[in-house]
A and B are shown apart, each in its own frame.
Chain A
Amino acid sequence: MNVVVCGKVIPASSVTIEIDPSTKRMVRKGVTHELDPAAASAVEEGLRLTEKHGGAVTLITMGMSDATIGIRSALAMGATSAVHILDDAVAGSDTLGTAKVLAAAIKKQEFDLVICGTESSDSYSGIVPGQVAHFLGVPAVTFAKEVTVDGDRVTIKRQSESGYDVVEAALPALVTTTSGINEPRYPQLKGIMAAKKKEIKVYTAADLGLGSDQVGESAAREKVLTVGRPPKRQGGKVITDEGEGGKQIADFLAELKII
């Protein structure tokens, strides 16, 4: 069973995300990057499934050259190979453009299952996987907290408002995984060494047959008009606990007539 994982390489969680007011995009240059934890979970799930059923895991990512570090971590975890869509022509794509790029890259691979995180940890839109599934013409089986493959069918426990749903689809299919689904493995030295020899295919938009009418900033349906700071909350007070912190909170609650 061949698994394709789509995931992002994003500014590391220790980095405060800044937006460039001129491009209205996140500042990605000169910032430490890492494999998105959501993508790491998706890779982990792919590895677990292929360890059980055989087959390969291919990571597909779209991003600037900074993405290499995250691609290497996925390969060090055990992914078989990777595809990197690296092209200025895809910069500024909105969700729809991104989905077109990913779907076109996935179509060049052999796959039975596509796994994505439910959403990236930097921009959280959460609709790219569903759009990718549409362009691939495969069912999207989403918000999985458990994934099982049996023969030509995939069954998941899908997170719901009141518990979970058991949802099934025939392969090929696309699954999205929730953050708690697994604990991604840490790459071991052997894996890190092996990763250096693994193949990273690089595609441009043209390789995928996509023009500026479909991807990149010019094709984006969503245009960011303004970027600003939200109104600050007023009246905040910060105190340091010197043994009376609990009492001071109680005083504050009494002022608010809560106690």
Chain B
Amino acid sequence: MSDLIWVYAEVVDDKITPTTLEMLTKAAEVGKAEAVLLGPAPDDAAQTLANFGASKVYRSADSVYGEYLTLPAAETVAGLIQKHNPAVMLFASSYAGRDLAAALSAGLDSGAITDVGDFVLKNGTVEATIPALGASYQNTSTLVSRGTKLLLVRPKSFEPKTNAQPLLVEEVPAASDEALRKVHMKERVVVKREGPQLEGAKTIVSGGRGLKGEENFEMLKELADLLGGAVGATRAAVDAGWVPYAMQIGQTGKTVKPDLYIACGISGAVQHLSGMKTSKTIIAINKDPEAPILQISDLGVVGDVFKVVPQLIEEIKKRKGA
């Protein structure tokens, strides 16, 4: 049985994404890891993939993959899968990863497992662990289709480790069919973000519906600044227009894993919990003693966020001054 595991490598902001490296590390632990890298990428991208365990990189730098979304990549990857028949192919649960896995799972009639947090491979059969319904249930699933099993992997599921392999790159022909040029990427707009980034922050102070308005995020910012951290938010706060999407933590936002997570006025909807529940230490402040976030907190305070947070800020200032 093949233990060949492929990883679809992604580049964002001119860098191989962290999730790509996390998946490669896992793939190399479970079997023989190889990567597929399509479209524009930095010069050292293939080397980076090799450094994290890829024993081979299938590569086309053709601009078609950047200018036209999903379809050219799906065509190329489907061709490669049919030729080399890896046991498993991993995609990040990202914008590009989800689109590509969706197209391939239909095109190959194979299905796919989404939201995978871990997996094992036994005699060509894959068993994936899925935190299916956020904090409340955990499933294991398998794919009974023939051929390559497609898995969409949650960010931060694995710890990336260097595991250098000799660099071996196989150039692949670009998808050239005109019919694949249907979804045209006309412009990439970078929206400047202020303040420390959520990605990689050691401390995150996060606010939800209980914050009641945009202006009250100032208080969280002050707390975050004191702790050298970043400010995050729930989908409810983002949907209400209080803070930008870039701050959203949860299933449809970012997955974070800081050392300290302080949840303020957040009830703990599944949507949010799944993006932060692997934080090392969680502190929650909520007025509702039944709030699910309190059940996963290391310290839960049932109280008014507008009283507790200012007192905490004052207390930290006092102790720092002392």
Q: Are B183 and A169 neighbours in the complex by a CB distance under 8 Å?
A: yes
B99 contact from A130, A225, A252, A259, Cβ within 8 A: A130
Q: Which of B20-28, B81-89, B310-318 contacts A (4 or more CB under 8 A)?
A: B310-318
Query: Any chain B CB within 8 A of the CB of A30?
Result: no
B105 contact from A96, A159, A225, Cβ within 8 A: A96
Contact with B along A242-259 (1 / 0, CB 8 A): 001111111011101011
Query: Any chain A CB within 8 A of the CB of B110?
Result: yes
Q: How far is the CA of A121 from the CA of B269 in the complex (A)?
A: 11
* Contact (A163, B302) CB under 8 Å given A95-B114, A96-B111, A249-B308: no
Q: How far is the CA of A180 from the CA of B236 in the complex (A)?
A: 9
* Contact (A163, B99) CB under 8 Å given A168-B184, A259-B319: no
B162 to chain A, nearest CB (A): 23
Q: Are A227 and B245 neighbours in the complex by a CB distance under 8 Å?
A: no
Chain B residue nearest to A17 in the complex (CB): B133
* Contact (A249, B312) CB under 8 Å given A126-B114, A225-B140, A238-B294: yes
B245 contact from A131, A180, A237, A252, Cβ within 8 A: A180
Query: Any chain B CB within 8 A of the CB of A235?
Result: yes
* Contact (A241, B299) CB under 8 Å given A162-B13, A163-B190, A221-B111: no
Q: Are A249 and B299 neighbours in the complex by a CB distance under 8 Å?
A: yes
* Contact (A256, B114) CB under 8 Å given A134-B103, A224-B140, A241-B307: no
B2 to chain A, nearest CB (A): 19
Query: Any chain B CB within 8 A of the CB of A19?
Result: yes
Indicate the size class of the contact surface on chain A: 35 or more
Q: Which of A60-68, A73-81, A136-144 contacts B (4 or more CB under 8 A)?
A: A136-144
Chain B residue nearest to A181 in the complex (CB): B239
Query: Any chain A CB within 8 A of the CB of B225?
Result: no
A228 to chain B, nearest CB (A): 6
Which chain A positions have C-beta within 8 A of B190? 162-163
Q: Which of B33-41, B48-56, B141-149, B163-171 contacts A (4 or more CB under 8 A)?
A: B141-149
Main secondary structure of the interface of B (DSSP, over half): mixed
B269 to chain A, nearest CB (A): 8
Q: How far is the CA of A95 from the CA of B141 in the complex (A)?
A: 13
Which chain A positions have C-beta within 8 A of B47? none
* Contact (A131, B105) CB under 8 Å given A161-B12, A163-B191: yes
Chain B residue nearest to A132 in the complex (CB): B106
B301 contact from A99, A130, A230, A248, Cβ within 8 A: A248
Q: Are A223 and B312 neighbours in the complex by a CB distance under 8 Å?
A: no
Q: Are B112 and A127 neighbours in the complex by a CB distance under 8 Å?
A: yes
Q: Which of B57-65, B206-214, B281-289 contacts A (4 or more CB under 8 A)?
A: B281-289
| 8 Å CB interface, B124-140 against A | 127, 131-133, 135-140
Indicate the size class of the contact surface on chain B: 35 or more
Q: Are B260 and A256 neighbours in the complex by a CB distance under 8 Å?
A: yes
* Contact (A19, B98) CB under 8 Å given A121-B271, A223-B142, A238-B294: no
Q: Are A221 and B245 neighbours in the complex by a CB distance under 8 Å?
A: no
| 8 Å CB interface, B232-270 against A | 235, 238-239, 241, 245, 251-252, 259-260, 262, 269-270
A165 contact from B115, B188, B296, Cβ within 8 A: B188
A241 contact from B12, B114, B304, Cβ within 8 A: B304
Q: Are B184 and A226 neighbours in the complex by a CB distance under 8 Å?
A: no
Chain A residue nearest to B238 in the complex (CB): A180
Contact with B along A86-129 (1 / 0, CB 8 A): 00000000111001000000000000000000110111111111
Q: How far is the CA of A128 from the CA of B112 in the complex (A)?
A: 10
Q: How far is the CA of A235 from the CA of B280 in the complex (A)?
A: 12
Q: How far is the CA of A247 from the CA of B101 in the complex (A)?
A: 49
Q: Are B105 and A95 neighbours in the complex by a CB distance under 8 Å?
A: yes
Chain A residue nearest to B319 in the complex (CB): A259
A95 contact from B111, B186, B298, B300, Cβ within 8 A: B111
A35 to chain B, nearest CB (A): 16
* Contact (A245, B301) CB under 8 Å given A161-B95, A229-B138: yes
Q: Are A127 and B245 neighbours in the complex by a CB distance under 8 Å?
A: no
Query: Any chain A CB within 8 A of the CB of B196?
Result: no
Query: Any chain A CB within 8 A of the CB of B152?
Result: yes
Q: How far is the CA of A221 from the CA of B109 in the complex (A)?
A: 9
Q: How far is the CA of A53 from the CA of B277 in the complex (A)?
A: 44
A residues adjacent to B (C-beta < 8 A)? 13, 16-17, 19, 24, 26, 94-96, 99, 118-119, 121-131, 133-135, 139-143, 145, 155, 157-170, 178-180, 220-230, 233, 235-241, 244-250, 252-254, 256, 258-259
A19-B132, A245-B307 known; 13 new pairs, CB 8 Å cut-off, are A127-B101, A127-B112, A130-B103, A158-B95, A162-B191, A166-B189, A221-B111, A223-B143, A228-B137, A229-B137, A233-B296, A239-B299, A249-B315
**Smallest CB-CB A-B distances: 9 pairs:** A130-B102, A246-B311, A241-B303, A221-B111, A163-B191, A134-B106, A246-B312, A127-B102, A250-B315
